[in-house]
Amino acid sequence: MTRPMRNSVRAVLFAMLAAASACTDSQSPRPEADVGLLDLGTIVVTVSTSGSDMPSGYTVTVDDSHSQSVGANGIVTFTGLSAGDHTVGLADVPSNCSVSDNPRTVSLIAGVVGTTGFSVGCTASGGGGGGGGGGATGEVIGQGQIGAGSPTPGSDATTFDFDIRADLTGRFTGTDYADLHGGTPATLTTDPVADPATSFKAYRNSSGACSDPSRGVEVDAVGREDTGSLVGYTLTVCDNGPAGSGTDFFKVFIPSEGFTVSGTVTRGDISKQ
């Protein structure tokens, strides 16, 4: 009479253990809160600033709903963000500084840290004298040549044609008639619109190469040579006087090639706006 009761008790205990095991099974659905945590991610934002009259810092925003202060050369981290696209922007950038691709979209994958970086270029506030305007956005325009020869293959002439602005837009073309490649004068061109691989990296609103530094501009850029190669170079110009005065100055330096061409402007003009 007691054996059937023992069997029943054993059956009940077995059922209870099976149920408990099912509740702790790793394959069982996780609580809703845990599932939500798995959908969250992190974005790390770095900021670097170069040039003159740099600010002490900026404000980084994400989706116009999260913001943090960051130093001129600093890093901030945003956590608890959902997977998907987020708009990241750099605010409180002063008028003498420029930054490209701002704001921008950062695609975030759950469980993966997303990163993006802003590079800010700043110029001296105010700018240098005469010649029209000053303002937050500087500009330098030039067309003409250095060297006494005519612009024909083999002569000592180097011609130039450029219009470059402090917001790192514009164009530049230089042709060195003394440097021949198969009978064709060497050229160097920066035009980010026509050739996105080329770009202007920095614009300095003065230059120690000029008798009056405030009348000068220095530009760091990446240009394409007639050979198809991309090279970094620095353009230095001085607006020392009116067109035809023979006092303006032009120089291009390509560090990777140890190449420099420079001289006073013998034809044309350089104008700093």
Q: Say if residue 112 is in the same domain as residue 164.
A: no
Query: pLDDT tier at 96 (50, 70, 90 boundaries)?
Result: confident
Q: Say if residue 151 is in the same domain as residue 242.
A: yes
Amino acid identity, position 236? T
Q: Say if residue 250 is in the same domain as residue 159.
A: yes
- SS3 of the chain: the string is CHHHHHHHHHHHHHHHHHHHHHHHCCCCCCCHHHHHHHCEEEEEEEEEEEECCCCCEEEEEECCCEEEEEECCEEEEEEEEECEEEEEEEECCCCCEEECCCCEEEEECCCCEEEEEEEEEECCCCCCCCCCCCCCCCEEEEEEEECCCCCCCCCCCEEEEEEEECCCCEEEEEEEEEEEECCEEEEEEECCCCCCCCEEEEEECCCCCCCCHHHEEEEEEEEEECCCCEEEEEEEEECCCCCCCCCCEEEEEEHHHCEEEEEEEEEEEEEEC
Q: Is residue 9 part of a domain?
A: no
Point out the domain boundary residue: 64, 89, 122. 122
pLDDT of residue 14: 45
Q: Is residue 259 part of a domain?
A: yes
- Residue 204 has, within 13 A of its CA and on its CB side, a CA count of 19
Q: Say if residue 180 is in the same domain as residue 112.
A: no
Q: Say if residue 154 is in the same domain as residue 263.
A: yes
Q: Is residue 134 part of a domain?
A: no
Q: Say if residue 48 is in the same domain as residue 105.
A: yes
Q: Is residue 28 part of a domain?
A: no
Q: Which domain holds residue 38?
A: 33-122
CA–CA separation, 193 vs 199, rounded Å? 9
Q: Say if residue 206 is in the same domain as residue 92.
A: no
Point out the domain boundary residue: 64, 96, 122. 122
Point out the domain boundary residue: 96, 122, 148. 122
Q: Is residue 55 part of a domain?
A: yes
pLDDT of residue 39: 67
CA–CA separation, 157 vs 155, rounded Å? 6
pLDDT of residue 273: 87
Which residues, in sequence order, are CB contacts of 211 under 8 Å at separation 6+?
A: 238, 240
* CATH number of 101's domain: 2.60.40.10
> Total domain count for the chain?
2
Q: Is residue 181 part of a domain?
A: yes
Neighbours of 80 (CB within 10 A): 9
Lowest mean pLDDT among 19-28, 75-84, 98-107: 19-28
Q: Say if residue 251 is in the same domain as residue 154.
A: yes
Q: Which phi and psi (to 5°) does residue 32 adopt?
A: -60, -35
Q: Say if residue 88 is in the same domain as residue 146.
A: no
CA–CA separation, 70 vs 253, rounded Å? 35
Q: Is residue 152 part of a domain?
A: yes
Render pLDDT for 175-215 as a digit per residue (tens, 0 to 9): 999 999 888 999 999 999 999 999 999 999 999 899 899 99
Q: Say if residue 105 is in the same domain as residue 212.
A: no
Q: Which residue has the higher pLDDT, 133 or 85?
A: 85
Q: Say if residue 170 is in the same domain as residue 221.
A: yes
CA–CA separation, 156 vs 76, rounded Å? 53
Q: Say if residue 179 is in the same domain as residue 217.
A: yes
Q: Is residue 224 part of a domain?
A: yes
